[in-house]
Amino acid sequence: MLQTILHQLMPNRCLWCDLPVHQAGQQVCSCCQQALPGFDIVFYQGNLLWLPAVQQGLPKLHAERLVSLSWYQPPYDYAISQWKLQQQLAAGHWLLQQFRLLAQQYQAAGFPLPDCICYIPMPPWRYLKRGFNQARLLAEVLAKTWQIPMLPLLQRQRSGQHQRLLKRSQRQHNSRQLFQLNAVFRMQLKQLGQIALVDDVITTGSTLQQACRCLQQGGAKPVQLWTLAITAKDRRQGSLP
């Protein structure tokens, strides 16, 4: 009630066009929402691994399914950068809203839901610097939307260099043996059912490849991958988030 009253008195301004939003709690207006680019989840049947344009340049991901909002392009690239690197919480809130909509569309289309959610863990030093793990926040969105458990199945074995500073071949080398299974869940991994693994952006796919391999070596069933954005093949060279 209070949010509705505040919206009527002082409506939020759209992040993109700066006009008033149409509903309380929105970060963008309905017109801008409809104009957003993105993958058509019904067209690709809830699995982007079927699209050659997505597969090109990615390694074998050891996953059954891949779901994402969009290519890494405007306005998502700007919002992700602002959220991760500048701690702009409004941008993060909008991205979480978009991720929730994607999860709802996926469920409404009748595609198979996972049995639990996990996420790419962040090195402790980076978490202290940033104050949050964006992959965990995205995983929480899926868990709450679908009412299924979120579990910290993976742990970092080493920090590694920041992927954003590395080229493709360096990223692939840097991500080797990054993860190990959380000892608390190691014995019950086979009983957890299908797992959805969440990260914010797929650039070369090397981090998710190693994480999936770690889960499958522990006995996990086929894995779903969920992410905000995927970097197109022609943009995978050089320094990307």
Give yes or no for a contact between 96 and 139, defined as CB atoms under 8 angstroms apart.
Answer: no
Backbone angles phi, psi at 9, to 5 degrees: -80, -45
pLDDT at residue 162, as a whole number: 53
Of the given ranges (67-81, 97-111, 139-153, 161-175), which has the lowest mean pLDDT? Answer: 161-175
Q: What is the pLDDT of residue 154?
A: 96
Q: Is residue 21 very low, low, confident or very high in pLDDT (cuts 50, 70, 90)?
A: confident
Between 4-18, 148-162, 181-195, 196-210, the lowest mean confidence (pLDDT) is in 4-18
pTM for this entry: 0.85
Residue 166 has pLDDT above 50, yes or no: no
In 3D, which of 175, 119, 200, 191 has the Cα closest to residue 152? 119
Q: Residue 14 — pLDDT band, cuts 50, 70, 90? A: confident
Tokens (6 digits) for 122: 């962040």
* pLDDT for the residue numbered 75: 93
Question: In the chain, what are the domain boundaries?
Answer: 1-35, 41-235
Check pLDDT > 90 for residue 77.
yes
Region 113-127 average pLDDT: 94
- Which of 48, 46, 33 lies closest to 229, judged by CA? 48
Lowest-pLDDT range, 13-27, 36-50, 55-69, 178-192? 13-27
Distance CA 179, CA 177 (A): 6
Domain 41-235 falls in which CATH fold?
Rossmann fold (3.40.50)
> In this model, does residue 241 exceed pLDDT 50?
no
